[in-house]
Chain A
C-alpha cells in the first residue's frame, strides 16, 4: 500500500535525481567570471563618502582587469549584478505605464507614474515612472590584449517586449529633465522598442539581488587571456549599500552556472535513497508486527495499489 507506493516514489525520485546530476556533471559546463567593483572603483580618498562621490560630477571612469582561467566559448554573456536593490518593491513595480510605452497616443496616460509622471510644466514624461527614471547607467567597454572586444547589445531583451510592449513609434520625451536626476539618459531619437537597456531594466527583477543582461561578446576567450574593462561607475548603489558586480558567463543547455539545483537534486536523491534503505533495513530487522510477515511482497506483486 503506502509503503509500496513510497518505494516506487523513492526509487523513481532517486533515479531522476541521479540522471539530472549526471547531466549537470557532464553536459553542463559553464565558466563564469565575477568582478565586484563598487568599492574598488571609488578612489581611496573618497571611500568614506561614497555617496558624495557618486553624486558629484567627478570623472567616474574606472579600469578593471579580468583574467580568463578557462576557455570560454562564445557567446559570452555580460551581466551586471546589483544587490540590495528592491526592484520588486510595490511602489516601484507599479510605477510605470504600459499604455504609454506601447502607444504614442497614450502619452498622457501617466497616472501610475507619480512622482515621475509629468515635468514641472505639465507635459508627460516618456517613459514615465520610477523604473525608467532609475535606469542603470554604468557602462562597460572591453578589450583583450589592447584590441577592443565588441559587445553586442542587440537581442538582449525578451522578443515579446521589443515587439509588443515597447512601441516602435514611441520616443523618449522630457526624460531625466527634472531637478533630481535618476539614472541613465535616453537618446530621444531612438524609439523605445530599440532601447534594449531600458527594456531589460523595465522587466523588474524578482529578488533584491539580481542580474541583468548587458550584452554579448561573440568571440571565444582563451585561458590566460586578460580582459581590460573600462567602466563608467555612474550608478548610485551606495546610498543603500548595494554591491555591484560585473559578470561574464557562458551558458549550457541548462542556462548559467547553477550549483544550487545540482546540489538540491543530489540531496533529494540522497534522502530518497536513504529512506528507501531505512525502510528496507527496518523490514529485514523487524518484520511487521501486524499480520502477515510475508507482506514484503511489494516487490513480488508490483501491480498492487
Chain B
C-alpha cells in the first residue's frame, strides 16, 4: 500500500535509530586487513612514504570510451567487429594483389569514408563526455595544507588521505569520512539525488571522537589511520575501522559521504578522502547499460548473411564458367583464344591449371560482386538513427512545460523498435500516477470524513454503480459537489481534504474529539520527515521519505497539529489547545523509532509527551494492523473495515492508525531487550530487532483510517485508450489491492465497459483456512491447484468468446502470480494473459526480481517486443530486461531514467513516442533497409550479367571509380533523407488511426516476403537495365558520325541507367516530399553527370577510360538518352503497376488512410483491412498452438 516502491530504500535507512544504538563492531569488521578489506588511509598525511607506497589512484575521473592515444586503434577495432566491415577490410587488403578486379584505391577510399564517418560520430560523442569530465575534474574544493589553512585546489588533484572542507550546497569531490561539521554534534544532511535518485535529505553523523575537530587549528596535529574495505559498488554498506589516539572506532555508512552527493542544510563539513576517482562508489557503480539491439537489426544481419550466400553463389557460378572457358583455351596443342596468349600466361588465366585459376577467380568474384553487400548500410543507419533521436528529443509535443523536461532518447539504436511494441509493462505509482499523494479522506472513530471526489469515484459515478460514502453518514448534507470547493481558499500540495466538520478547529465539536486529536497526533509525530522553514514566507515544508508521509504531516498541519521542528530526541508541534483555544508549542520526546519495512508493513514511534505519558503511535497496513488491536480497542473495527473497502474501491491508499499507552515498567523491560537485540553482533540482528519490536506493537487501540489519493497523471486514460486501440497489450504491475487496482484500471481506461474480467486470486476461504494451520507445503500445493484451476477456467471463458469481439481483462494478485510463473503453469498462464487486452498484476511484491521475471516471461513467452515503463529505482531491472525501457523522469529522481533507453516526462507522451515516432521510425528503417538491398542488388547484378558476356573473366563493366562512388555519393543521400524524413501519414493521422501501429507490431513492412520482393525487384531491374542497354546500343553506330559503342560507352550508359532507376525508385517509394528529398534525389542524379564531366576532364592518366566519355561520346549520342529513358520507364513499370494494383485492390492500412486524406474525407475509423484482420487472427491462433 503506502509506497511499496519506497520500501527498498527504507531498508537502508538508519535515520534516528542511531540514538538508540551506538556503533559497534559487527562481524564484517573482523575481516579488516584481509582480502577485500585491505585499504589503508593515512589521514592528513598523503605525503607519508607509507601512503605514497600504496599509490592509490588520483581523483581524476574519465568516463570517456577512448583516449587521445587509443582512439584510433580502439575505434577501428570497434568498427571491424562487424562482419560486413571485416569483409571490406579483407577485400581492401587483397585489392593490392593482381586478384583484384579493380584498383586498390577505388575500394579503399569508400571504406575510409564509411569508417571515417562512423569514427567521427564516435569521436564527437566521446568529446561530449570528455567535456563533462573536464568540468568535473576542474571543480574547486578546499584542501588542508600546512599552516592551518585550507587552500582551493582542483578536484582532480585530490589524494587519498587529504583533509577537505566542503561547504553547503557543494558536491563532495570524493568518498569522504565525515570528521566534523558546523553542527557541534557532527551532524550533516546530504542529498543523494545523483546516486540513487532520492530527493529527501539523509542524515550523516561523525564519530563522536572526531566531532570536536571543528576548526582549522585542531587539524594541526591530527593524525589518524583508517583501515577499510576495498573499493566496491555497494552504496549502502561500508566497513572500516578508524585508528585514532591509540583507540579503534568502527566506521559505518553513517560516516561516509559519497562523491556526487550534495551537502545540504549544513554550513560546512570536514572530511578525509578515502576513495578517489574511479575507486569511489558512484564510479564503481557506473556500469554501461546493457546494450540492446533491435529486432530489425538482428533481421538485417540475417539478410546480410543471405546476401553473402548470394555473393558466394554468384562467384561460384562465375568461377565454374570461367574455369571451363579457360580450360578450353588450349586443347590438343591448339590455342583457341590465341589473342589471350594462353601459352604464356599467369596462374590466374592458366588453362593448364584451370581449377586453380577458377579458384582464384572465385576470390576475384567475391570482390567484384561485393557490391551486393551495401558497405554504407551500417553507417547510414547509424546516421539516420541519430537524426531520428534528435527528432524525438526536439519534439515540442513531448515537452513537459511544468518540469521543463523534453523527451530524451538515451540510446539511438532502438528507434524502430518503438514501432513494434506488442506489450507494455507499466509500473503504477509515479508512472500512471503523479506520485504526489493527497490526503483526501479519513475515517476516525468510525465516522468517514472528507468530501472530495477522487478521479476513480468520478469514473465510478459515471458508471452509476457507485454511491459516495459520505451519503451514509450525513445524508442530510447538501450534495457533495457543492461543498467541494467552498472552503478551499488556496490549494495546498498534498492536501485535498474538504470537510467542514474537521477543518478550522471544528473537530472539537465532533462526537469523539479526543480520538480525533490522537489521530492527528499520530499523523504529526509518527514519521521521519524533516521540516524546512522557508525564511521568507514562514511556511514550513517537509522533506519526507515518501510522498505519503509528506501528505500526512501536511494534513496534520492543516488541521492544527503543525510539526515545526525536529531535534535528535524531540519533536516539536504547534497544537491547538482546545481548552484555551490558543496555539501552543508542545514537545514530544522521541524515544524510539521502529522503522517501516516491507515485511513489517508498519511504523511506530514511542514518545513521551509533556504529561509524561508514554505513547506508542503506530500506522500500518490493514493486513497487519487489525490483528494487533486489543479487544477494547476494536470499537470501530467493523466500520473501519467497511470504510477501508470503500476507500480501496475509490482507488485510495489506506493506512490504519492506532496507538497505545505504555506503562513505565513495561517500557523499561522492553527497551532493555530491544537495545540488546539492536546491539547484538549476530547476522540476524535486524530480524531480532523486528521480533522485539513486534512485542510492543500489540494491544493497540484503533483510531481510524487515512486515505490518500495518488492522482492519475494528466492524459493517462486517453493515452491508455489510444494504446489499447493500437492493439498494444498493457500490463500494469501494482502493489494495490485487487479492488483498488480494478477501480484504477477503470479510471485509466485499462479496463473498459463491456470488457470481461478474469480474476485470479488466492484469497479464497479454503486457502485462508490452510494458512491458519500453517502447513506450508499444503498451502503451496493447494495454491498451485487453485491457480491452475482458475487459469484453465479463464482460458475456457476466452475460447468460448473467441468468435465475439469481447475483450478480456485479467487481474491477478501477487501470490497467484508467483505460482503462475511456476514452470508448469507458465505457458498456460501466458496463453491466457496474451489473449487478454490488459493485465493487472496487483499486490506484487516490490522486489525487482518479481518485476524482472514477469518482464522476462512476457518477453520470451510472446517473442515480441516488450516495453517497460517505470520511474523508480525498483523498476531498473525491469527497464533493462525489457526490449525497450522507458523511464519517466518524474519526482522519483534519475535512477530509472539512467537505466532507460528513452526518458519522457509524462506517461501520456508514450502515445506520441510509440504511435507517431515509433511508427515512423519503424517504417523508415524498414523501407530504408529494403531499399538499400534493392539498390545494391540492382547494381551488383548488372555486373554479373555483364560477366556472362565477358566469359566471367572478372572484368567489371564500369570504371573503378564509378563503382566506388556508387554507395557513397550517387545513392546514399536520398536513402538517408528517406530514413530521416519520410512519413506515410502525418502525426495527426497516426494518432487518429492508432490501428496503423499494427503494421509495425505484425512487422508487415519488414517481413521476409517483402524483403525478398525487394530483392527480386532488384534482380529484375538489373536484368532490364543490362539487356535493354546492351541490345539498344551494341553493334550499330551510336550516332551520325558512325562511331560504335565500346566497353566504356556501355559502362557509362548502364551506370547512368542504374543511377536513374535507383533514384527514381526512391522517388516512387517516398511518401513525403519536401525540397530536401527533391534536392537529394535529383541532386544525386545530377551529381553523377557532374562527376562524369569533372572526372572525364582530368588528364587521361588519372581518368583512364573515363576520359571525356560523357562530353565526347555520350552527350552527342541521341541513343544514349533514348536508352536511358527507355530503361527508366520499363524498370519502373513493374514496381509501379504492382503498387497501383496493391493500393487499389489489396490496400494496406496506411494506403487507405492516405487515400482518405487525399480525398479529403476522413471517416472516424476505417474498417480494418481484411488482410490485417486475417493476420491478427493468425497471430492469435499461432500463439494458442504454442
Binding site for B on A (CB under 8 A): 1-3, 5-6, 9, 13, 16-17, 20, 32, 51, 75, 77, 79, 81, 85-94, 98-99, 102, 114-116, 130, 133-134, 156, 158-160, 164-165, 180, 182, 203-213, 216, 236, 239-240, 249, 251-258, 260-261, 264-265, 268, 271-272, 275, 279, 288-292, 295, 297, 304-305
Q: Residue of B at shortest CB range from A84?
A: B337
B969 close to A (CB within 8 Å): no
Which A residues touch B1038, using CB under 8 A?
A: 255-256
Q: With the chains together, A193 CA to B1112 CA distance in Å?
A: 18
Q: Select the residue from B1112, B1156, B1159 with max chain A CB neighbours within 10 A.
A: B1159
B289 close to A (CB within 8 Å): no
Query: What are 7 contact pairs spanning A and B, CB under 8 A?
Result: A160-B1108, A164-B1108, A208-B950, A239-B336, A251-B1039, A256-B1038, A271-B1133
Given A20-B1122, A252-B1040, A93–B1112 Cβ distance below 8 Å?
A: no
Q: Residue of A at shortest CB range from B1129?
A: A13
Q: Residue of B at shortest CB range from A93?
A: B955
CB distance from B962 to the nearest CB of A (A): 15
Given A115-B344, A164-B1100, A211-B1035, A268–B1107 Cβ distance below 8 Å?
A: no
Q: Residue of A at shortest CB range from B1147?
A: A290
B561 close to A (CB within 8 Å): no
Which of B24-32, B272-280, B745-753, B1138-1146 binds A? B1138-1146
Binary interface encoding of chain B residues 1036-1066 relative to chain A, with 1 for a CB under 8 A from any of its CBs, else 0 = 1111111111111111000000000000000
Which A residues touch B1136, using CB under 8 A?
A: 2, 5-6, 9
Are B335 and A158 touching (Cβ within 8 A)? no
Which of B485-493, B645-653, B1113-1121 binds A? B1113-1121
Select A210's contact among B334, B1035, B1039, B1122, beta carbons within 8 Å: B1035
8 additional A-B residue pairs with CB within 8 Å, beyond A88-B950, A114-B344 = A79-B1044, A89-B337, A99-B1101, A160-B1112, A206-B1045, A272-B1129, A291-B1152, A291-B1166
Select A216's contact among B349, B1030, B1042, B1158, beta carbons within 8 Å: B1042
Which B residues touch A260, using CB under 8 A?
A: 1031-1032
Q: With the chains together, A77 CA to B1036 CA distance in Å?
A: 11
Q: With the chains together, A159 CA to B340 CA distance in Å?
A: 28
Q: With the chains together, A208 CA to B1104 CA distance in Å?
A: 22
Q: With the chains together, A268 CA to B1035 CA distance in Å?
A: 22
Q: Residue of A at shortest CB range from B335?
A: A239
B815 close to A (CB within 8 Å): no
B1034 close to A (CB within 8 Å): yes
CB distance from A192 to the nearest CB of B (A): 14
Which B residues touch A253, using CB under 8 A?
A: 1039-1040, 1118
Are B1041 and A251 touching (Cβ within 8 A)? yes
Given A6-B1136, A258-B1119, A75–B1113 Cβ distance below 8 Å?
A: no
Are A207 and B1030 touching (Cβ within 8 A)? yes
Q: Residue of A at shortest CB range from B1145?
A: A289
Q: Residue of B at shortest CB range from A283?
A: B1144
Are A2 and B1143 touching (Cβ within 8 A)? yes
Which A residues touch B343, using CB under 8 A?
A: 180
Which A residues touch B1156, using CB under 8 A?
A: 291
Which A residues touch B344, using CB under 8 A?
A: 114-115
Select A85's contact among B339, B1045, B1099, B1107, beta carbons within 8 Å: B339
Q: Residue of B at shortest CB range from A286?
A: B1145
Are B1043 and A258 touching (Cβ within 8 A)? no
Which B residues touch A249, using CB under 8 A?
A: 1036-1037, 1042
Given A240-B336, A255-B1038, A292–B955 Cβ distance below 8 Å?
A: no
Are A91 and B1037 touching (Cβ within 8 A)? no
Select B338's contact among A81, A116, A205, A236, beta carbons within 8 Å: A236
Given A77-B1037, A158-B1112, A258-B1036, A205–B1046 Cβ distance below 8 Å?
A: yes
Which residues between 984 and 1037 of chain B lie within 8 Å of chain A, taking CB atoms? 1028, 1030-1032, 1034-1037
Q: With the chains together, A180 CA to B325 CA distance in Å?
A: 23
Select B955's contact among A79, A81, A88, A159, beta carbons within 8 Å: A88
Q: How many residues of B contact A (CB 8 A)?
A: 82
Are A158 and B338 touching (Cβ within 8 A)? no
Q: Residue of A at shortest CB range from B1047?
A: A206
Are A89 and B1151 touching (Cβ within 8 A)? no
Q: With the chains together, A2 CA to B954 CA distance in Å?
A: 41
Binary interface encoding of chain B residues 514-540 relative to chain A, with 1 for a CB under 8 A from any of its CBs, else 0 = 000000000000000000000000000
B630 close to A (CB within 8 Å): no
Which B residues touch A133, using CB under 8 A?
A: 339
Which A residues touch B1125, using CB under 8 A?
A: 16
Which B residues touch A3, using CB under 8 A?
A: 1140, 1143-1144
Binary interface encoding of chain B residues 1134-1172 relative to chain A, with 1 for a CB under 8 A from any of its CBs, else 0 = 001101101111010001101110110100001001000
Given A16-B1129, A98-B1100, A116-B341, A1–B1154 Cβ distance below 8 Å?
A: yes
Are B1137 and A114 touching (Cβ within 8 A)? no
Q: With the chains together, A159 CA to B1028 CA distance in Å?
A: 28
Q: Select the residue from B101, B1046, B1099, B1143 with max chain A CB neighbours within 10 A.
A: B1046
B1132 close to A (CB within 8 Å): yes
Which residues between 899 and 950 of chain B lie within 8 Å of chain A, taking CB atoms? 949-950
Which A residues touch B1118, using CB under 8 A?
A: 253-255
Which A residues touch B336, using CB under 8 A?
A: 239-240
Which B residues touch A75, using CB under 8 A?
A: 1042
Q: With the chains together, A89 CA to B337 CA distance in Å?
A: 10
Given A165-B1100, A207-B949, A255–B1040 Cβ distance below 8 Å?
A: yes
CB distance from A49 to the nearest CB of B (A): 11
Are A213 and B1043 touching (Cβ within 8 A)? yes
Q: With the chains together, A305 CA to B957 CA distance in Å?
A: 38
Are B1140 and A5 touching (Cβ within 8 A)? yes
Q: With the chains together, A20 CA to B1126 CA distance in Å?
A: 10
CB distance from B365 to the nearest CB of A (A): 11
B1123 close to A (CB within 8 Å): yes
Binary interface encoding of chain B residues 315-349 relative to chain A, with 1 for a CB under 8 A from any of its CBs, else 0 = 00000000000000000001111111101111011
B59 close to A (CB within 8 Å): no
Are B950 and A89 touching (Cβ within 8 A)? yes
Q: With the chains together, A165 CA to B11 CA distance in Å?
A: 86
Which A residues touch B1039, using CB under 8 A?
A: 251, 253-255
Q: Select the residue from B348, B950, B1048, B1104 with max chain A CB neighbours within 10 A.
A: B950
Given A88-B1047, A204-B1047, A305-B1158, A13–B1133 Cβ distance below 8 Å?
A: yes
CB distance from A11 to the nearest CB of B (A): 12
Select B1043's contact among A98, A158, A206, A239, beta carbons within 8 Å: A158
Q: With the chains together, A203 CA to B1047 CA distance in Å?
A: 8
CB distance from A105 to the nearest CB of B (A): 13
Q: Across chains A and B, which 5 residue pairs bring their CB atoms closest together, nearest first?
A: A256-B1036, A256-B1037, A206-B1050, A77-B1042, A134-B339
Which A residues touch B1123, using CB under 8 A?
A: 261
CB distance from B906 to the nearest CB of A (A): 35
Are B1042 and A251 touching (Cβ within 8 A)? yes
B38 close to A (CB within 8 Å): no
Q: With the chains together, A17 CA to B1127 CA distance in Å?
A: 12
B411 close to A (CB within 8 Å): no
Select B349's contact among A2, A91, A272, beta carbons within 8 Å: A91
Which B residues touch A182, using CB under 8 A?
A: 338-339
Which A residues touch B412, using CB under 8 A?
A: none
Are A90 and B1032 touching (Cβ within 8 A)? no
Are A90 and B101 touching (Cβ within 8 A)? yes
Q: With the chains together, A87 CA to B951 CA distance in Å?
A: 10
Which A residues touch B853, using CB under 8 A?
A: none
B713 close to A (CB within 8 Å): no
CB distance from A29 to the nearest CB of B (A): 13
Are B1037 and A288 touching (Cβ within 8 A)? no
B725 close to A (CB within 8 Å): no
